[in-house]
């Protein structure tokens, strides 16, 4: 697992209190961020992954968050996907179409479009496609591609080309959305950034896939909706796209930590990460471990133990 260097910024507020752990609060407009619905052929497999489509012809599958998300709180949706390698030794691997889409939409669809439309729910919506099949009628590039789309799979706002995505391997996807800007990450690398999609106050989000005359198995897992805690910071102290959290340390000071949402998250449900704290600009005066854990509201709980008095902390870094 690749975990990039994560920088923390800290502001200290000298207030009383003695809590020791905190959680990033989910801030959905409509409710829980782990309540998904299944559309058309999608179903949860015994291993917990979501089978969006099999390699049958002309099928669709969707996995949609039931409740709307507050755009001001939304940071990213991330998931893993696997699309089967065409013409592999497995006779059920299919022939290489069509791909997976993520829709940011004003409503939840009741049915989905098959074939090259890849179950993208277009009306009033934008999204991202992971397209493995060339369709000239949709202005596709000749090679498998990832694109920001709006209204339809034929309206590519920005495209990145030539990714091996249907190779029967698991790949990671993350899509950040703030204001009118979308950033797309594939296997931990940013491949697209585009400003100019619809601005939502709240929206529904879902992942879909489809087959047409050509087919493939399309499976997702570990779908996470990441939101920032909102309302705790002024605009001046809460940069856009930061996940923020408050901490109250043992020595009666509230610590306000932020980490940038574009950084790679731990892939597992929990992961320990070592940290170093710089006091008075000197590196590594304090060392320890952070424990990341997936909270009950699909946020991340951060538990930490800092033994320094914290009064002159300039920087806190997470290190590999």
What is the binding site for Ca ion (CB under 5 A)? 116, 131, 133, 135, 140
CA–CA gap between residue 273 and residue 316 (Å, rounded): 12
Work out how close the CB of 152 gets to Ca ion at its nearest, in angstroms, rounded to a whole number: 12
Q: Which two tokens stand for residue 21?
A: 């752990």
State which residue, 74 or 130, has the beta carbon closest to Ca ion: 130
Work out how close the CB of 103 gets to Ca ion at its nearest, in angstroms, rounded to a whole number: 16
Contact 180, 199 (CB under 8 A): yes
State which residue, 141 or 308, has the beta carbon closest to Ca ion: 141
State which residue, 75 or 153, has the beta carbon closest to Ca ion: 153
- Give the count of beta carbons closer than 10 Å to the beta carbon of residue 252: 11
State which residue, 120 or 265, has the beta carbon closest to Ca ion: 120
Work out how close the CB of 86 gets to Ca ion at its nearest, in angstroms, rounded to a whole number: 14
Work out how close the CB of 140 gets to Ca ion at its nearest, in angstroms, rounded to a whole number: 5
- Give the count of beta carbons closer than 10 Å to the beta carbon of residue 269: 9
State which residue, 25 or 135, has the beta carbon closest to Ca ion: 135
CA–CA gap between residue 161 and residue 142 (Å, rounded): 9
Work out how close the CB of 97 gets to Ca ion at its nearest, in angstroms, rounded to a whole number: 7
* Chain Cα centroid distance, residue 78: 2
For residue 207, count CB atoms less than 10 angstroms from its CB and return exposed for 0-12, middle for 13-18, buried for 19 or more.
buried
């Amino acid at each position: 697992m690749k975990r990039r260097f994560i920088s923390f910024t800290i502001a200290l507020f000298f207030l009383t209190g003695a809590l020791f752990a905190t959680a990033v609060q989910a801030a959905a407009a409509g409710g829980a961020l782990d309540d998904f619905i299944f559309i058309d052929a999608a179903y949860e497999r015994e291993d917990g992954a979501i089978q969006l489509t099999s390699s049958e012809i002309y099928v669709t599958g969707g996995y949609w968050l039931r409740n709307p998300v507050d755009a001001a709180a939304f940071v990213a949706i991330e998931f893993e996907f696997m699309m089967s390698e065409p013409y592999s030794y497995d006779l059920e691997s299919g022939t290489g179409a069509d791909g997976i889409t993520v829709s940011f939409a004003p409503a939840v669809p009741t049915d989905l479009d098959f074939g090259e439309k890849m179950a993208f729910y277009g009306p009033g919506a934008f999204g991202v496609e992971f397209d493995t099949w060339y369709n000239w009628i949709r202005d596709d590039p000749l090679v498998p591609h990832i694109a920001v789309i709006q209204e339809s799979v034929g309206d590519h706002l920005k495209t990145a080309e030539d990714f091996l995505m249907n190779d029967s391997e698991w790949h990671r996807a993350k899509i950040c959305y703030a204001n009118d800007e979308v950033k797309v990450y594939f296997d931990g690398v940013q491949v697209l950034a585009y400003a100019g999609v619809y601005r939502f106050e709240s929206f529904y989000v879902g992942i879909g896939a489809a087959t047409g005359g050509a087919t493939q198995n399309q499976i997702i897992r570990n779908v996470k909706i990441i939101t920032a805690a909102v309302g705790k910071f002024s605009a001046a102290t809460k940069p856009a796209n930061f996940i923020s959290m408050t901490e109250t340390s043992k020595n009666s000071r509230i610590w306000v930590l932020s980490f940038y949402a574009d950084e790679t998250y731990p892939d597992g449900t929990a992961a320990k990460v070592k940290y170093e704290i710089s006091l008075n600009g000197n590196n590594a005066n304090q060392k320890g471990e952070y424990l990341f854990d997936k909270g009950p509201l699909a946020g991340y709980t951060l538990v930490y133990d800092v033994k320094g008095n914290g009064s002159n902390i300039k920087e806190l870094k997470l290190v590999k």
